[in-house]
Structure formats: structure tokens, C-alpha cells
Structure 1
Amino acid sequence: MTSVAPHSRKKICYYYDSDIGNYYYGQGHPMKPHRIRMTHNLLLNYGLYRKMEIYRPHKATQEEMTKFHSDDYIRFLRSIRPDNMSEYNKQMQRFNVGEDCPVFDGLYEFCQLSGGGSVASAVKLNKQAADIAINWAGGLHHAKKSEASGFCYVNDIVLAILELLKYHQRVLYIDIDIHHGDGVEEAFYTTDRVMTVSFHKYGEYFPGTGDLRDIGAGKGKYYAVNFPMRDGIDDDSYQNTFVPIISKVMESYHPSAIVLQCGADSLSGDRLGCLNLTLKGHAKCVEFMKKYNLPLMLLEEVATPFETLHDAGPTKPQLRST
């Protein structure tokens, strides 16, 4: 059984690039990268930076991104700009780039920074140079091999897990975003080296996947786990589901590294969400995973209104080193 030791000291590294907040999806779009900068400012103002080492991520290279994504898709992302979109109409349809996943200035660089932070986090964990690695510009779990989806273009999570698999025989991926982590699940649906566990709203809700009966295929059968959640679930009810499920997963799967996607849209007050979690509810999930004393990566698709993050004070990061 996996050991749980709540008081072991943690070394934390955090990846942030000051340019990340400059990218703009467009007027009225729910995805707002400037909130990553706001979250970073909270970290500074609460003094949490003293608890960690802060690094500027490298820009993920085309070679790194094509370890998962197709060559022609990455070439398309690198080439398209707002001023040449008319030249790429067919490719935009093919790669699902448009309204939800718009073309904006610096799109490719945004993908590079998001992907680079997550890959660098995995490298840091692989080298045992950190116990916890954080990239709040990551967590873009909907992107597919050759398709943008749900505001996501490059699946930094898959890139990070592929890097972790160089050193770890089994990696556990947990997704507490309100949306099903379909891109990550699809990428590893036929392997037993990655178990994906997603807690999400299901039904007539994007992306419409993540049925309880979706359990993986081939060698990956029983290594995809989905738990649809009801509207309005609160902290206590969420923990009463999360803790026993993850405890059983840890006991049976025995991963040697964990990736936790902490999508903020499962929080109460999110314009796209319908759950009733507080920041403390999210933090309890992080705290629970820390107790296993395994290499832990924290990623978050920050699309939640800043007021939601700010009103609860410093609870959200939960980055104490002890």
C-alpha cells in the first residue's frame, strides 16, 4: 500500500513567464491569460514565493510539441496569424480553429510558453530537483493530436506526462476541472502506463465525454476512470467522493508520479461552471495528494474570474513546504 506521510518537507518549483499575461483571446472570450498574471501577483503579495524556487520556462520547441501533436498541426499553429487567416480557411476547419479556439496575436508563442513550463516541470521532477512542480499556465487538457478544442491548442499535460514516462513506469493523472479531461484521456486510452481519473460534469456539457462506462481499451482497459458530478456539489460532498476513490486508485495502481490538473472552473462563481466548490475544497485535493510523497505536478487552466480567486485569500495556492 502507498505510504502516506503528512509532515515530510517538500521542495517546490514554480514556472512563470511575465509575457504570459499579454496574450488575448479576444473580446468576450472566457479564456483570459492575464488572470495567470493576477494569480502570480497573489503569490507574490502573500509571500508564497519565499516557499519555492521560481523559474522562467523555456519555449517548447516544435520537436517537443510533435512528440504528441502531428507535424502539420504544429506547423499550422506556427504559421497562422490574424492577418493571414484567409489563406488558411481549410486548415482552420480541419484543425478546429475558429470561435472557441480563435487565432490571436502570439498564439504559437503562447502555446510554447504553456507547453515549455509543463515539460520543464516534468524534467525537474525527473531529476529529483523538486518534489512539487507548478505551472499555472498549463493544464490545457482538451487539445488533441491534430485538433484544437475547448480553448486549448497544445496539450501541455500530455507533453509533460510523456516526459515523466522516461523515468516513471506509471503516472497517475487526476483532473478536477469541471470539464472532462478528454484530450489527456484520449492520448493514453490504450496504455496501462498512465491512469487517467477525471471528476467532471457530464451530460449536455462540453465536451460531452467522460461517461462512467468509459474505462479505456486494449492494454489501457480499466485505466481510464470517470466520475460525473452533479450540479452544485459542495466541498464536503466532493471530498467524500474524491478521497475514497483516489485512495483506492493509489492502493491498486501504485504510480510513481502524479499530475493534478486543478482547473479553476469547478469553483463556485465561475461563469462556465455549475459546481459549488470553494478554494478550500480545491486546496484539500492538493493537500491530500501531497501526503503520498510522490513527485507531484500541479497545473491549472486559469479561466476563472479573478474575484473568485481573490475573495478567498491565500487559501488557493496551498504551497506550504511542510
Structure 2
Amino acid sequence: MDVSGNSLPSAPDGVKRKVCYFYDPDVGNYYYGQGHPMKPHRIRMTHALLAHYGLLQHMQVHKPFPARDRDLCRFHADDYVAFLRSITPETQQDHMRQLKRFNVGEDCPVFDGLYSFCQTYAGGSVGGAVKLNHDQCDIAVNWAGGLHHAKKCEASGFCYVNDIVLAILELLKQHERVLYVDIDIHHGDGVEEAFYTTDRVMTVSFHKFGDYFPGTGDLRDIGYGKGKYYSLNVPLDDGIDDESYHLLFKPLIGKVMEVFRPGAVVLQCGADSLSGDRLGCFNLSIRGHAECVKYMRSFNVPLLLLGGGGYTIRNVARCWCYEADRSCSWNRS
């Protein structure tokens, strides 16, 4: 039984899952610029913790294949992808009109290797979806992914390419229905928008609402057309703690799993919902954040775990290391 009293398929604690973990050693070298809160170095920190704790031996470790132009264009506009491929710090002054059109600038700066960075993190998420589709793992992990704000034709909120949308499109090749759950403190607007009119993807976002980026995710935003009632938004106030969060998360997700019955789940594990985050205002502990991963894992449905926000980078690394460990076995001491 779940917390709502519904019978659901689940696996007992301690059952080991086959976990595929995607990591590119170069991902930590990308640099948004001095003073920018988004630091890809946190992915390298997470990997170092996993290595030092001896956890990599419990997972299949894969270097992602870079996403190709045509892969990115399954969601993004051709001219936007071409712009990302060609723009460099040296040439950006000659393309001011395009920079404005595609919302590339202060929040989403041009930096060395920008397109390679997009190819890397998107490749990990799509690669994870492919592994799940071919039953080569039960859980796929790509902490470099989860960049949920990117739109079809523009960058937004530190995100250039929406790897989540691309991964869900891949999962839809094999599964009739896919559930997307977002526990980043910011609303998962790019993913919601992409699937707002379909009943094959349900999006559920738990986020800070009210005078907070991106300003979307109202309780009344529920989808449109065939997608009506397939978008669920849970707007939250400052300072929510573990207990209050799970009083909402578990009954809502339990009911969604019972009624929607997805063939696969994508969980965006943005760590800016942790207490003490540089840009956040929630009060979740690492254990409380990881409880969401544990709960999604309990349904025994193919699961793709992605990163996202997180700007106090030592806490981010600790959190994602803990969640990767617990994805292998919840009984490990």
C-alpha cells in the first residue's frame, strides 16, 4: 500500500537494481564565466565522491555519445541549433540580433565549448533513455542533465538544450505513457510547455511560486486540449521542510502512478531545493530530497534520474552522490 492506501507494484527495500551511470570526464571543464552561479564543476565533484566511496563498481559507467544536430532538432528549431553550434565568445559581438532573439546573454552566456557542453549533457540523457528502452538497466543516471528551462527556440535559466524533452521523446518510442516529476525549486516550464497538449506525457512540478523565476507553474495550469489534466503544478512557499514536502509529494505521486500508469518515469533532481542553496529558499535536507528518489524507485518502473539546479555546489555533490548510492540499494549502510 502507498500512503494513500492504494495497492501498487513495488520492490522491497534492499533489492538491487541495475544502474547505468553516464559521465563525461570533460564536463567539469566548462565554465559559464566569473560570478555565474551555474558551475558544471559540481558534476566532477559528484563523480569524485562516487569514486572515493567505491560506488562506481555498483553501476555500469558510460561515457555519453555526444548528441548530434539531428538529435537536438527532434525538439529544437534548426536555426537555433545552428546558432548554438556556430556562436563563440570571439564572434558574439557580430551576432547581437541573434543573441537577443535566442535569449543568449547574461543568464545564458556564450562560453568556450558551449555547443560541446550541450551535446554532452543531452547525449547522457538520451543515452539513458535508450538503455531503459532496451531493458539494459532499471535506473539510468545523468547528473549533467535536467536542464528543464530551455525552449524550442530559446535558451532560458542557464539552460540551452532541453535534454529532458529529448529523453522523453526517446522513451515515447517504447512506452505509451511517460511521467515527468520535477523537484527542482524552479518550475519545470520548458518540459511542461513541450508536452502541454498531449496525454502521453504527464508533468508534475513541485516548485517555489510567486515573484520567483520563471514565474510560471500556477495551480490552475493543467494542460490544454488532449493534454488537459496531464500537467500538475504544486506551488510552494519559502522554507518548506522534509515533513511538509512529503505530506504533499507521496500522496500526489502515489495517485498519479495509480491513475496514469506510466511505462517509464523521468525524475529531475534539482538540488537547489536543498536548505542553504545559493539561489534557493526551501529547507529540505539531503535525506529528505533523496526520499523522493526512494519513493519513485519503489514503484519498480524504469527510472531516469537527472540533475538540474543546485548552486551551493558542495551540497549538490553530496546530495547526488547519496542519491546515486541509494539508487543501487536502499539497504546499504
Q: Same fold (TM over 0.5)?
A: yes
Measured in 2, the distance between the counterparts of 1:111 and 1:156 equals 8
Give 2:254's match in structure 1, choosing from 234, 244, 247: 247
- 1:143-182 Cα offsets, whole Å, 9 max, x none, are 0000000000000000000000000000000000000000
**2: distance between equivalents of 1:238 and 1:20?**
32
Does structure 2 retain, via aligned residues, the 8 Å contact 1:25–1:103? yes
Q: Aligned pair in 2 of structure 1 residues 179, 310: CA closer, same or farther (>3 Å)?
A: closer
Match of 1:170 in 2: 177
From 30, 52, 63, the equivalent of 1:56 is 63
Q: CA offset at residue 116 of structure 1? A: 0.2
Q: Are the counterparts in 1 of residues 125 and 142 from structure 2 also a CA contact under 8 Å?
A: yes
Q: Which amino acid aligns with 1:204?
A: D
Answering whether residue 329 of structure 2 is matched by residue 321 of structure 1, we say yes
Describe the superposition over 1:184-235 as per-residue Cα deviations: whole angstroms up to 9, x where unpaired.
0000000000000000001100000000000000000000000011111111
- Identify the match of residue 86 of structure 1 among 93, 104, 107: 93
Contact 2:242 2:283 in 1 (8 A): yes
Query: Do the aligned residues in 1 keep the contact of 2:42 with 2:317 (CA within 8 Å)?
Result: no
8 A contact 1:210–1:226 mirrored in 2? yes
The aligned amino acid for 1:304 is Y
The 3-state SS of whatever aligns with 1:259 is strand
What is the CA distance between 1:6 and its match in structure 2? Answer: 2.5
Q: 5 Å matches for 1:1-322?
A: 2-7=8-13, 8-301=15-308, 303-309=310-316, 315-317=322-324, 318-321=326-329
Is the 1:194–1:223 contact (alpha carbons within 8 Å) kept by the matching residues of 2?
A: yes
Specify the code of the residue in structure 2 equivalent to 1:6. P
What is the aligned-residue RMSD (CA, Å)?
Answer: 1.4
Q: Deviations over 1:67-107 (max 9, x none)?
A: 00000000000000000001211100000000000000000
For residue 216 of structure 2, give the secondary structure of its aligned residue in structure 1.
coil
SS in 1 for 2:70: helix
CA distance in 2, matches of 1:116, 1:134: 12
Whether the 8 Å contact between 2:183 and 2:268 is mirrored in structure 1 is yes
Residue 315 of structure 1 and its aligned partner are, at CA, apart by 3.3
**Are residues 311 and 165 of structure 1, via their aligned partners in 2, closer, same or farther at CA, if it must alter by over 3 Å?**
closer
> Quick check: 1:51–1:319 contact (8 Å CA) kept in 2?
no
SS in structure 2 of the partner of residue 249 of structure 1:
helix
AA of the residue aligned to 1:281: G
CA shift at 1:9, angstroms?
Answer: 3.0
Q: Secondary structure at the match of 2:168?
A: helix
TM-score normalized by structure 1? Answer: 0.97
Whether contact under 8 Å (1:22, 1:33) holds in the other structure is yes
What is the alpha-carbon distance in structure 1 between the residues aligned to residue 318 and residue 290 of structure 2?
15
1:83 partner SS: coil
The alignment of Structure 1 onto Structure 2 pairs a total of residues equal to 322
Q: Is the 8 A contact 2:197 2:228 kept in 1?
A: yes
- Separation in 1 of the partners of 2:107 and 2:275? 23
Q: TM-score, normalised by structure 2?
A: 0.94
SS at match of 1:196: strand
Moved more, 84-93 or 127-136: 84-93
- Paired with 2:25 and 2:322, the residues of 1 have a C-alpha distance of 23
| Change over 3 Å in CA distance of 1:313–1:289 after alignment to 2 | closer
Gaps of 5+ in 2: 1-6
The gaps in structure 1 that reach 5 residues or longer are none
Letter in 2 for 1:320: C
